[in-house]
């Protein structure tokens, strides 16, 4: 049973990394579920302090992921239309066969959203850039936390590897 939980936990931390880039999955929270599953094994002792701290970090990053793009958009003069365009561009970029669609999509989406809302090309480009910077910052933070959670998972599993046999 411990091996099954170990593999399930590994699946969740890897899904956490993938979720850093997909807006549908909350990356750090998904990775945290992997850590939680690992601590349910008999091989790894439950460390509630560790789980509590990592949960707070995961929730904080999840909340910041919604706040940072708003800050980026507002700092560069953007509107809600730019933020909606960023989100739609991200979805389209993910589904498109275009290389780097996940990077190009949010910028183009923000630009189109701002052009529809403001009509001023210069302001729209500036706001789209702000939305894009906010999106990249949030994604980078989620990715870093997901990698750290994966590192903790691997380290804890490795440290207790003899108990899994």
Higher pLDDT, 107 or 70: 107
Question: Is residue 53 over pLDDT 90?
Answer: yes
Number of domains observed in the structure of the chain: 1
d(CA 70, CA 59): 18
Q: Which domain holds residue 113?
A: 2-164
Highest mean pLDDT among 26-40, 83-97, 101-115: 26-40
d(CA 149, CA 123): 39
Please name the residue ranges forming H helices in the chain: 2-19, 27-39, 48-75, 80-95, 101-118, 121-159, 161-164
Contacts of 11 (CB under 8 A, 6+ apart): 34
- What pLDDT score does 97 carry? 80
Look up the pTM and report it: 0.80
> Please, which pLDDT band fits residue 76 given cuts at 50, 70 and 90?
confident
d(CA 117, CA 16): 35
Return the structure tokens found at 107.
């910028």
Instruction: Find the mean pLDDT for residues 96-106.
Output: 78
Question: Is residue 104 over pLDDT 80?
Answer: yes
Please name the residue ranges forming H helices in 76-120: 80-95, 101-118
What DSSP character marks residue 98? S
């Amino acid at each position: 049973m411990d091996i099954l939980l170990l593999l399930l936990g590994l699946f969740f931390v890897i899904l956490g990394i993938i979720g850093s880039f997909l807006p549908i999955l909350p990356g750090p929270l998904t990775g945290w579920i992997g850590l939680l599953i690992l601590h349910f094994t008999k091989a790894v002792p439950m460390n509630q302090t560790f789980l509590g701290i990592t949960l707070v970090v995961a929730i904080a990053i999840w909340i910041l992921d919604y706040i940072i793009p708003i800050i980026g958009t507002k700092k560069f003069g953007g509107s809600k239309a730019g933020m909606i365009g960023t989100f739609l561009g991200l979805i389209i970029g993910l589904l498109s066969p275009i290389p780097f669609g996940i990077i190009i999509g949010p910028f183009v989406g923000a630009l189109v959203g701002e052009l529809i809302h403001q009509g001023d090309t210069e302001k729209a480009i500036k706001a789209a850039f702000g939305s894009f910077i906010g999106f990249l910052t949030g994604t980078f933070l989620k990715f870093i936390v997901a990698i750290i959670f994966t590192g903790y998972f691997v380290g804890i599993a490795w440290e207790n590897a003899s108990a899994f046999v």
